[in-house]
Structure 1
Amino acid sequence: MTLAIMQPYFLPYIGYMQLMNAVDTFVLYDDVAFINRGWINRNKLLINGQEYLFTVPLKDASQNKPINEVHLVDDPKWRGKLLKTIEQGYRKAPHYGTVMPVTEKMVNFTTDSIADLIYFSLVELNQHLGLTTRLVQSSTIYNNGHLKAQERILDICQQEKASAYINPIGGMELYDKPTFAQEKIALSFIKAKRVEYPQFNRNQEFIPWLSILDVLMFNDVTTVRAMLDEYELV
């Protein structure tokens, strides 16, 4: 069984989805410290031909809190504002008609927890794309918050009886293959390849690494499924 562990990101870029698709079980690491100005509650869209950074507003977010204890602001107006921005940016995109209802369902999910909002949205994206990856919130099952760093990752792998663990390429300095091999777990790192596709203006330079929403608005599910395999393991 192949496993990956990653902090929860809302409407993430395609590399995140590639990692999720590459494994049997994907653990949302939601009981570790929240990262200010990270990608947990932010991502990029294509609005009027330019990158646009959207942010889900949070209440008293702090790096002293675990992600699953961070709450959304009480004012629900941000949901309508975000959906309006997406509508204005993508209503002329070829797959707007099929993707927008899924987007509305994700954004309007009733919760005050950023962790639960992200979990729900990733389940919806999984279903929309026909993926079979099992999604797990780390706060709900492993009971190993006393462990740190690589030791905790290994413990989750052992609890899940994983034979292989895939980590984002940025973690090459954090984890070492011999230590995992001692536990009979094959460690590899995923490196996303640059994926290009037609956006609105074919004469304009392609803007990469936007939210998966951008990918879905311009490509059918079959094409996106093929894009999810555009990576290498090292």
Structure 2
Amino acid sequence: MKVSIMQPYFFPYIGYFQLIANSDVFVIYDDVNFIKKGWINRNSILVNNTSYLFSMPLQNVSQNKLINEIFISDLDKWKMDLLKTISSSYKKAPFYQDVYPLIEKIISFDELNLAIYIQNSIQNLCAYLNINTKLIMSSEIVKNNGLKGENKIIDICLQLGANQYVNAIGGFELYTKENFRVKNIDLKFIKSEDIVYQQFKNEFKPWLSIIDVIMFNSVEDTRMLLNKFELI
């Protein structure tokens, strides 16, 4: 069984969904410390042919808190502003009529807990893309929470009965294949190929949020893009 583990990201880039689609079980790593200025509560979309960083406002943010201990601002103005920005930026995109109601549903979700809010968004996006991977919150897994880093990842894999662990290529320097091998787990890294598609008639801006991908690509074409990677 193939397992992958990632922190919950808000409308992440396509590589995140490549990781999910290539796994039997995807663990949303919600019981690790929040990282400021990361991708947990922000991402980028195309606005006036430039990469525009959007974010959700959070309450009492601290890197000493776990992700599932962080709460979203209870003011709805940010949701309305973000929806307005997405609508105005993509209203002429080929799949706007299909995608915007999904984005509106996700952003309008009535939940203040950051981890649960993002979990809901990932579930809805996976359903739209016909990704049937099982999603589990890390906090729901009985494991040794005293472990850190690689050892905690290995413990989660063992608790789930994994024989292969797939990680994003960004973690290549963080994990050692031999340490997984002694536990009978095959460690692989997913490396995305160059992913290019038509964004209106402008110069292509790569690695934007999944919002950009599905605004310009059908579900079928997006699923083809999900297969553009190498396992190393």
TM-score by length of 2: 0.98
1:99-158 deviations in whole A, cap 9, x for unaligned?
001101100111011111110000001100001111111112234321111111111000
**CA distance in structure 1 between the partners assigned to 2:72 and 2:172 by the alignment:** 33
Alignment partner, residue 215 of structure 2 = 217
8 Å CA contact 2:15–2:192 kept in 1: the answer is yes
Deviation at residue 74 of structure 1 after TM alignment = 1.7
Q: How does 1:1-234 map to 2 (within 5 A)?
A: 1-201=1-201, 204-234=202-232
* Letter in structure 1 aligned against 2:14: I
**CA distance in structure 2 between the partners assigned to 1:92 and 1:145 by the alignment:** 48
1:188-223 deviations in whole A, cap 9, x for unaligned?
11111110000011xx32100000010000000000
**CA distance in structure 2 between the partners assigned to 1:39 and 1:93 by the alignment:** 25
* Letter in structure 1 aligned against 2:90: Y
Deviation at residue 48 of structure 1 after TM alignment = 1.0
8 Å CA contact 2:58–2:72 kept in 1: the answer is yes
* Letter in structure 2 aligned against 1:83: L
* Letter in structure 2 aligned against 1:216: I
* Letter in structure 1 aligned against 2:225: M
TM-score by length of 1: 0.97
List gaps (5 residues or longer) in structure 1: none
> 1:26 is paired with a residue of what secondary structure?
strand
List gaps (5 residues or longer) in structure 2: none
**CA distance in structure 2 between the partners assigned to 1:113 and 1:83 by the alignment:** 20
Larger mean Cα displacement after TM superposition, 157-166 or 173-182: 173-182
Give the length in aligned residue pairs: 232
**CA distance in structure 1 between the partners assigned to 2:16 and 2:140 by the alignment:** 21
* C-alpha RMSD of the superposition: 0.8
**CA distance in structure 2 between the partners assigned to 1:32 and 1:188 by the alignment:** 22
Identity of aligned residues (%): 50
* Letter in structure 1 aligned against 2:223: R
Deviation at residue 40 of structure 1 after TM alignment = 0.2
**CA distance in structure 2 between the partners assigned to 1:144 and 1:216 by the alignment:** 38
